[in-house]
Amino acid sequence: MHSISVFNRSWPSVQLPEEIGDASRVGMNAYQRVTALTDNFEDSELDLPILGLFGEVGGLLSALKKKQRDQSYEQSYDEAIAEELGDVLWYFTRIASRAKLDLSVIAQRAFRDMSDWDEVMADEAGIFGDIHHVRREPITSEEFSGRVVQLAGRVGDLMNDLHAGAFSSNRDKLAGHLVEIFRAIIEAADAAEVELEDAARQNLYKIFSRWPHQKKYPALFDENDDPAERLPRQLEVEIFERERGGNVLVFQRCNGLNIGDPLTDNKEDPDDYRFHDVFHYAYAAILGWSPVMRALFKLKRKSDPVKDENQDGARANLVEEGISTWIFNRAQKQDFFAGVEPGKLSYDMLKTVHQFASGYEAERCPLWLWEEAILEGFRCFRYLKEHRQGRLILDLEKRSIDIEAL
């Protein structure tokens, strides 16, 4: 099996439901109950989760193909395969829940035949760690591909019977499909050298990082640092345009003093990126993180040489600027996220941003907090885009940023 390093992503600020605890041993029925908290489908039918299951099996095949295509071995492919298996497990569990079937019963029947088919019970003690094979020989990529294709075939059979209306008055037929699919999931996980308990655990951290059952802001990163080097807990910044030498520039002022350099869009086709510092203020206010703002206000933590160099240095500034630019380019194609509600921002985009921040303090921020910072930053940006000026009001203790007329 893979070493734990494949699954040791940093989720220190993610709160799991008490029923799961520290997720060191993931119970199947407990997993089934808590994943119901993240089922955001608007109806209780089977169609959407079955389609979702089919899509995730396709994602599993795609991750495998990428690993086979690239000559150099990368651990990220193993992480992607484990993540896709976790997503497969989530959709599978949602189907079982909608059919009022216990995951532990399905798991037991995956190891039964005609002689002992009914020797099962709703086992609260059953954990994913009970389900894995011990192989004597490694499995080739071709064999793994074959097992994933077999899994896709099982899910395809499920879809065919769904569209034929075979489950409307025959839950046992659906249960039979789910047992066969679960067997195929076990075989695919075994071939990938991924234990289902690892996949389930990481899936829980992932979904509750994105859609928490309870939002709890983590402590500010500089809470225990020298008070003279902390980001200001309350701050007001005026942002406005002025014409200078035939160019329209954006200026910033705080406490009556101009701060930073006047900005243009730095682009032939104007796109108002000149107002982009509002994103850095949003990161500071909501994430409690902004190396760019620390440099702007001369608040680098020089009393701590490690933080000064690694967390507040030039590379950290470049990472933050890169995140802002990358998100901005995506937002341009989506009306700068106007009308996007909390919980609806692209998961893939948030995951990429989280990867950008790897190795820096902001890596410890859950995905829902990143979403909040991004949406609030673009709300203020849209105001500036429309009014060409405004007063930003930051409150780091309340984790808020607002904007008003200047």
Question: Does pLDDT of 301 surpass 70?
Answer: yes
Domain hosting residue 295, numbered range: 227-404
Cβ–Cβ under 8 Å, residues 222 and 301: yes
Alpha-carbon separation of residue 314 from 283, 295, 320, 365 (angstroms): 17, 9, 10, 21
> Is there a domain that residue 217 lies in?
no
The owner of tokens 């859609």 is 211
Tokens 């190396």 -> residue: 291
Closest C-alpha among 368, 326, 397, 399 to residue 11: 368
Listed residues 185, 210, 235: the one ending a domain: 210
pLDDT top residue among 8 and 246: 246
The answer to whether residues 143 and 248 belong to one domain is no
**Rounded Cα gap, residues 65 and 77, in angstroms:** 10
Residue 190: inside a domain:
yes
Distance from chain centroid for Cα 178: 27
**Residue 30 shares a structural domain with residue 116:** yes
Task: Give me the number of domains the chain comprises.
Answer: 2
Residue 248's pLDDT is 87
Q: Are residues 191 and 79 in the same domain?
A: yes
**Could you tell me if 162 and 170 are in contact, meaning their C-beta atoms sit under 8 angstroms apart?**
no
The CA dihedral of 6, 7, 12, 17, to the nearest 10 degrees, is: 180
Instruction: Give the domain-ending residue among 210, 243, 259.
Output: 210
Average pLDDT, the chain: 87
Q: Which two structure tokens, joined as six digits, stand for 127?
A: 């954990």
Distant-in-sequence, close-in-space partners of 272: CB < 8 Å, separation ≥ 6: 265, 381, 384, 385
Give the C-alpha separation, 63 to 234, whole Å: 45
pLDDT score of 396 more than 50: yes
* 209-222 residue pLDDT tens: 998 888 889 999 99
Residue 390's contacts (CB-CB under 8 Å, 6 or more residues apart) are 238, 239, 240, 380, 383, 384, 403, 404, 405, 406
- Give the pair of three-digit tokens for residue 320: 């933050």
pLDDT surpasses 60 at 9: no
Q: Is residue 216 part of a domain?
A: no
Q: Is the model's pLDDT at 6 over the cut of 50? A: no
Tell me what the mean pLDDT of segment 149-162 comes to.
93
Residue 335 confidence (pLDDT): 96
320 has a pLDDT exceeding 60: yes
Q: In what order do the strands lie in the sheet with 389-395?
A: 257-263, 247-254, 234-244, 389-395, 400-404
- Is residue 7 very low, low, confident or very high in pLDDT (cuts 50, 70, 90)? very low
pTM exceeding 0.75? yes
Is-contact 24 205, C-beta < 8 A?
no
Quote the radius of gyration of the chain (alpha carbons, Å). 25
166 shares a domain with 39: yes
Q: Please tell me whether residues 369 and 240 are part of one structural domain.
A: yes
| Portion of the chain with pLDDT greater than 70, in percent | 89
Q: Scan for tokens 């089919």, then name that residue.
A: 54
User: CA separation (Å) from 385 to 56, 204, 230, 232, 379?
Assistant: 39, 39, 30, 26, 10
In a domain, 83, yes or no: yes
In the predicted model, what is the mean pLDDT of residues 249-253? Answer: 94
- Report if residue 218 sits inside a domain: no
Is residue 215, in this structure, part of any structural domain at all?
Answer: no
**pLDDT of res. 74:** 56
Do both 240 and 329 map to the same domain?
A: yes
Name the residue with higher pLDDT: 384 or 68: 384
pLDDT classification of 11: cutoffs 50, 70, 90: low
Query: By the 8 A CB rule, do 396 and 284 touch?
Result: yes
Q: Are both 284 and 183 inside the same structural domain?
A: no
Burial of 116 (0-12, 13-18, 19+ CB in 10 A): exposed
Measured CA distances, 130 to 34, 196, 377 (Å): 20, 9, 46
Last residue of a domain, one of 184, 210, 236: 210
- 303, part of any domain: yes
Does residue 279 fall inside a structural domain? yes
